[in-house]
Amino acid sequence: AQPPDRPTSPQTLSTMLLAAAMSLLFMILLVLLFDWFDTTIKTSEDVINLAGLVPLGCVPASHKTESIELLNLAAKSSIPVREALNMVGINLRAQLKGQRFLLVSGARTGVGATTVAAYLATSLAQTGMRVLLLDANLRRPLLHKVFRGPNTNGLSNRLADVERFQEQPTLYPRSWLQRWKTPIANLWLLPAGPPPAQSTAVNIQELQQLKEWLLGERRMLDHSNVSPLIDLIVCDTAPLCEGSDTYGLSMIADGIVMVIEAGKEQKETLCDTHALHLQAPILGVVVNRQKVGQM
């Protein structure tokens, strides 16, 4: 008998290659399995396929999304976030079919709904529409910071002024509106105002009256309509997880823009809020802070 030149087993190289191939196959199957069971919304296609809603666009992740620089539509610099938000505004205009009072909200805190509301209002104003941007998030008001303005007066302490509009309907509503004018053409901002002493809920009845006066839906004693002062109200509201504020506002709204963070929201959340709670229809969904791997 002749001794072999090399051992017949174990065959180290073959075993290593086989183990590497099996590990790679297992990892691929594991990734596919996780992707199969993952029902979070990451892309516009997920909004359609998983939630059955209209996607308004996806906004890439950025550390500058809360900056007033995003609202400078005349700026020559082109940044992905501004371009994405501009596309959201274009898609929203295509969805508008006579809606004149819109809510912008998120399912949870910190999804960037305020930035989206500010940019949408600015973008729509740039098209020639007269837009009132309203901060109805009395618990965490942010719009006055975005526009670098005061918050000493606003929704919490000036909404009751609507009771005086009937005294001189050709003067009071117009002069009241002008105090909220912004440097941006066709755009007015009504901030939240100082924190209320008692309730943090918006007076829906007074807000309904303001809506009728500004949009020209109010009828005078002689049955004539007042002249509309603005074309659209965009209302930044508290997230749905913080109580009934947004649900109450949805009773007088014409439509809702939902803002979600990519990969953080399950499809059931959008479906449940759409079917069970909100009184106004969801016009579309904005997927915010989309990372490169999710595109």
Residue 69 has pLDDT above 60, yes or no: no
Interval 232-236 mean pLDDT: 97
- Taking CA atoms, 87 is separated from 81, 84, 92, 94, 232, in Å, by 10, 5, 9, 11, 19
Flag whether the pTM goes above 0.85.
Answer: no
pLDDT digits (tens, 9 = 90+) for 91-147: 999 999 999 999 999 988 889 899 899 989 998 998 999 999 999 998 889 999 888
pLDDT digits (tens, 9 = 90+) for 18-32: 778 888 887 777 666
Residue 214 has pLDDT above 80, yes or no: yes
Residue 241 has pLDDT above 60, yes or no: yes
The pLDDT assigned to 259 comes to: 93
The pLDDT assigned to 80 comes to: 82
Helical residues (DSSP H) of 112-253, grouped into ranges = 113-126, 143-146, 155-158, 172-178, 204-215, 245-249
Q: 70-79, 211-220, 247-256, 265-274: which has the minimum mean pLDDT? A: 70-79
The pLDDT assigned to 57 comes to: 93
- The residue that leads in pLDDT, 195 or 3, is 195
pLDDT digits (tens, 9 = 90+) for 134-190: 999 988 899 998 888 999 999 999 999 999 888 888 889 999 999 999 999 999 999
CA distance 153 to 151: 5
Among residues 269, 204, 211, 202, the alpha carbon closest in space to that of 240 is found at 269
Burial class (CB in 10 A: 0-12, 13-18, 19+), 19: exposed
pLDDT digits (tens, 9 = 90+) for 275-295: 556 889 999 999 998 886 666
